[in-house]
Amino acid sequence: MSGRRYPEAVDVAIVGSGPTGAAYARVLSEQAPGLSIAMFEVGPIVSDPPGAHVKNIGDPAERARAQVASEGPGERGEKVASPGAAKAGVRGARPGTFLLEEGYVFDGEDGLPVVAMSSNVGGMAAHWTGACPWPNESERIAFLPDMDELLAEGERLLGVTRNAFDAAPFGEIVRERLSAAVDDGRTEATKVQRMPLAVHRRDDGRLVWSGSDVVLGDVTRENPDFALFDQSLATSVVLADGRAAGVVVRDLGSGEQHEIAARVVVVAADALRTPQLLWASGVRPAALGRYLNDQAQVVFASRLRDVAPLGDDAPTTGLAEYSGVSWVPFTDDMPFHGQIMQLDASPIALADDDPVVPGSIVGLGLFCAKDLRADDRVEFDDAHIDGYGMPAPRIHYTLTARDREVIERARAEITRLAEAVGDPVGDRPFTLPLGSSLHYQGSTRMGTVDDGTSVCDTDSQVWGVPGLFVAGNGVIPTATACNPTLTSVALAVRGARAVVASLA
């Protein structure tokens, strides 16, 4: 699928190979065979099929190489294995991701010290956890009447299941204890439940985590009119007569620039680099980069009380094989999203004379919805360049008094939940450095009217630039606390259908 010979012209050029760019390619391949599609990705292919999750790579050394190859153009920074391992003040990136080297915080602001990206075919979804919850209450995009159908379609594209960990011996115990603490007065949709996950179990029992490979599917891979070009940096969108007319791409191998004409351009280059490419192309609507929001994250651990040691047939490896992944949904009254899963399967020695039942330590994480502000933004500095030579991102980001109050409530709530499932490990929860969520939204947000508070319309087409579409978490206009990828893939489905209609 990869090659250095770029086409002169295509129907649709897609920038970025994460799950949202892949969703465009998939819907177009299914609904409009015959349209030519070129996908440009700045990072390399690191897995097989291209875009596959690196967790599916069995050999640890090969997996580590795939992670390192995804970590962008700069210095390789310190890595943290899990959010719980992050220490205050230490800027550590998760494997497969890299951080901004500068411009992530300014005087008098909170900044996003660990805002991260991935550069590889498959984007962050070659490294993700695969949690695909549905948004609830104010997380939902009220002006989209077809949201449920789009989310269901997003689940199909991402290969979401709910039963992969039904055999996990402690899963039901965790959920029963959480339910007893939380469910009273909640609707069915917001009660404690299994987390929908982009993973399936093969017949031989092996887990296969979904990445962009699953979103692309065979229909895209076998589409003779689809081509993927890795190590290809889109440096600008070409405009002609006020509409999108192509992309300029730099082949990172040869350094040569190529202009590829396109009838439609989709920019799916993550919540920092999608606005970056628009900025670099002179497309600068007032809301570009604004309303940036991250989900502040609070974590804690708890040791399950009263669980019997497991028999010899108990799982020996594998995150989540003991207690699965459980979900405490967001509500407007409790504006946090809970993800509860086993901590790393490696045994944690609490004390020599106190053996821990393997798998009985669960990690609890609460993500908080941000108080949205236009001033929270990513700007671009034409006088400075990033590691790829693009205008350098500058993050201006501040928590409001309401944000701080919500984080304090989340700390109290996670303590209550940790006590409900077992005995908390440690004396207090930990608030992660801002940016840890890896869920950055709002920077190319969707709206119903072009009033300066949004970048694109409800089909993800940029206001005033026909033929230019944006995709990714940046398009989400609401302050979600839940993991956003299912929602942004759902929005990509809507956009892709609009592209099909416009090119028919």
Ligand X SMILES: Cc1cc2nc3c(=O)[nH]c(=O)nc-3n(C[C@H](O)[C@H](O)[C@H](O)COP(=O)(O)OP(=O)(O)OC[C@H]3O[C@@H](n4cnc5c(N)ncnc54)[C@H](O)[C@@H]3O)c2cc1C
117 touches 72 (CB < 8 A): yes
Question: Which residue is associated with the tokens 């909170």?
Answer: 110
Out of 67, 119, 458, 478, name the contact with ligand X by CB under 6 A: 119
The DSSP code for 386 is: -
Q: How far apart are CA 244 and CA 255, in angstroms?
A: 24
Q: How far is the CB of 70 from ligand X (least distance, A)?
A: 8
Structure tokens at 60: 């640890």
233 binds ligand X (CB under 6 A): yes
Site track 438-477 with ligand X (rule: CB under 6 A), x = hit: xx--------------------------------xx----
Which value, in Å, is the radius of gyration of the alpha carbons in the chain?
Answer: 22
Provide the b/e sequence for 151-165 (b: ≥16 CB within 10 Å).
bebbbebbbbbeebb
Q: Which helix (H) or strand (E) holds 416?
A: helix 401-421
295 binds ligand X (CB under 6 A): no
Q: How far is the CB of 14 from ligand X (least distance, A)?
A: 9
* Catalytic residue from among 127, 337, 396, 439: 439
Restricting to residues 269-288, name those near ligand X by CB under 6 A.
Answer: 269-270, 273, 277
Structure tokens at 110: 């909170």
53 binds ligand X (CB under 6 A): no
Binding part of the chain for ligand X, among 123-131, 328-336, 347-355, 409-417 by CB under 6 A, reads 123-131
Q: How far is the CB of 294 from ligand X (least distance, A)?
A: 12
Structure tokens at 203: 């017949």
Q: Between residues 310 and 498, which has the closer beta carbon with respect to ligand X?
A: 498
Q: How far apart are CA 476 and CA 491, in angstroms?
A: 8
Q: How far is the CB of 21 from ligand X (least distance, A)?
A: 5
Tell me whether residue 439 is one of the annotated catalytic residues. yes
Which residue type does 85 have? A
Task: Please report the DSSP string for 191-226 in residue order.
Answer: S-EEPPBSEEE-TTS-EEE--HHHHHHHHHHT-TTE
Q: Between residues 36 and 67, which has the closer beta carbon with respect to ligand X?
A: 67
Q: How far is the CB of 345 from ligand X (least distance, A)?
A: 17
Out of 245, 323, 488, 500, name the contact with ligand X by CB under 6 A: 488
131 binds ligand X (CB under 6 A): yes
For residue 393, the cross-strand partners are: 380
Q: How far is the CB of 487 from ligand X (least distance, A)?
A: 8
Residue 304, φ and ψ in degrees, nearest 5: -55, 130
125 binds ligand X (CB under 6 A): yes
Q: How far apart are CA 104 and CA 499, in angstroms?
A: 35
The SS3 call for residue 433 is coil
Q: Between residues 20 and 193, which has the closer beta carbon with respect to ligand X?
A: 20
481 binds ligand X (CB under 6 A): no
Which residue type does 65 have? R
Residues with catalytic roles? 439
Chain residues binding ligand X by CB under 6 A are 15-21, 40-43, 94, 97, 118-120, 123-125, 127-131, 233-234, 268-270, 273, 277, 438-439, 472-473, 483-485, 488
